[in-house]
Amino acid sequence: MNPKWNGQFSCFDLVARVGEKTADKKNEHARTIVQVRDIEIGGNDFVVMAGPCAVESESQLLQTAEAVAEAGARILRGGAYKPRSSPYAFQGLGVEGLKILRKAREATGLAIVTEVMSEEDVDLIAEYADIMQVGTRSMENSALLEALGQCGRPVLLKRGMTATLEDLLRSAQVIAVAGNSQVILCERGIRTFETATRNTLDIAAVPVLKAVSHLPVIVDPSHAAGVRSLVPVLSRAAAVVGADGLIVEVHPCPEQALSDGNQSLTFAEFRHMMTDLQPYLELQQESRQMRPQLLAAGGAD
Ligand code: PEP
Ligand code: MN
């Protein structure tokens, strides 16, 4: 491993191993596999989570769930509680949205990932969600992170838009120390001086995080790009650098979406994206098999 990273991140070597009852000594370099129903995140599969930014209605969510499941997604995303930059913007359907998510799971078998914004909502959301999403604006909310330590569900931890990788790992460690080692890290773009994209996708974050931690790492190309035309190409980049999966926004009619319509894919666009990803995933599988140690270390220095 690059000595710089080792020095910089050595305090996180055990991130999320804390509290892992089965962590066997000989296996301390093994990667964490997050088990969500019958899905393994961080193992050999590339797991795609897809769905609307926000749950808007039963028909919107059910239609989307069926379309993304048919195209190969395993997990349905959709916010019932929405963190918005403006107090006048749509704030989500709350419990009503959670109930709709549950219906979609029953109808399609997809697992559910949805955002939790406050420690007060953790128990309620854990009754409906298979994965608890922590948004970019909440990454450093320590009361929330600590409450997630006891929620009994895996956590999808998004990188704060101005957070370093070290900050992200520190937040993962807070959840782990509070009792929950099932954490998935998510690169979703950061604030830089560039304004052509909504955020700047830090693609190098993927191999660095995989080199310095054993947690699964996924990419959110939608919030990174801010425009739908860039989502497929950023997804391909994520596959090639070794991400364990994606979280992508998809909407039946993006022009009418109550949030993030510009970056949401239509059903057809999502289907094409999934098909076009295949050769890139095969390429990545081949190189993993050819040089596993090099890739595990994040490539040559
Ligand atoms: C979302 O997933 O819709 C969302 C609000 O993401 P982020 O926290 O990355 O902005
Ligand atoms: Mn969104």
Rounded distance from Cα 172 to ligand 1 centre (Å): 17
Lowest mean pLDDT across 210-214, 255-259, 274-278: 210-214
Amino acid at 150: Q
DSSP 8-class letter at 202: -
Mean pLDDT of 225-247: 97
Q: Tell the residue nearest (CA) to atom 4 of ligand 1.
A: 135
Q: Strands of the chain (E only): list them.
A: 34-36, 39-41, 47-51, 75-77, 111-115, 131-134, 155-158, 183-187, 217-219, 245-249
pLDDT at 2: 78
Q: How far apart are CA 221 and CA 189, in angstroms?
A: 8
Ligand nearest to the CA of 199: 1
Provide the sign of the torsion angle of the four alpha carbons 231, 35, 293, 20, taken in this order: positive
pLDDT digit string, tens, across residues 76-135: 999 999 988 888 999 999 999 999 999 999 999 999 999 999 999 999 999 999 999 999
Is ligand 1 within 6 A of the CB of residue 214? no
- Which atom of ligand 1 is the closest one to the Cα of 136? 8
Assigned token pair, 82? 């929405």
Rounded distance from Cα 261 to ligand 2 centre (Å): 8
**With pLDDT > 70 as the criterion, what percentage of the chain qualifies?**
91
Whole-number average pLDDT of the chain = 92
Assigned token pair, 159? 């990188």
- The answer to whether the beta carbons of residues 266 and 251 sit under 8 Å apart is yes
Is ligand 1 within 6 A of the CB of residue 105? no
DSSP 8-class letter at 220: -
Assigned token pair, 196? 């052509």
Q: How many other C-beta atoms can be found within 10 angstroms of the C-beta atom of residue 87?
A: 6
3-state secondary structure of 284: helix
Ligand nearest to the CA of 251: 2
- Which atom of ligand 1 is the closest one to the Cα of 53? 3
**Is the model's pLDDT at 173 over the cut of 90?**
yes
> What is the value of pTM for the model shown?
0.94
Rounded distance from Cα 264 to ligand 2 centre (Å): 8
**Is the model's pLDDT at 287 over the cut of 90?**
no
Closest by alpha carbon to 213, among 285, 301, 113, 298? Answer: 298
Please state, in angstroms and as integers, the Cα–Cα distance from residue 60 to each residue in 56, 78, 251, following that order.
Answer: 6, 11, 8
Q: Tell the residue nearest (CA) to atom 9 of ligand 1.
A: 136
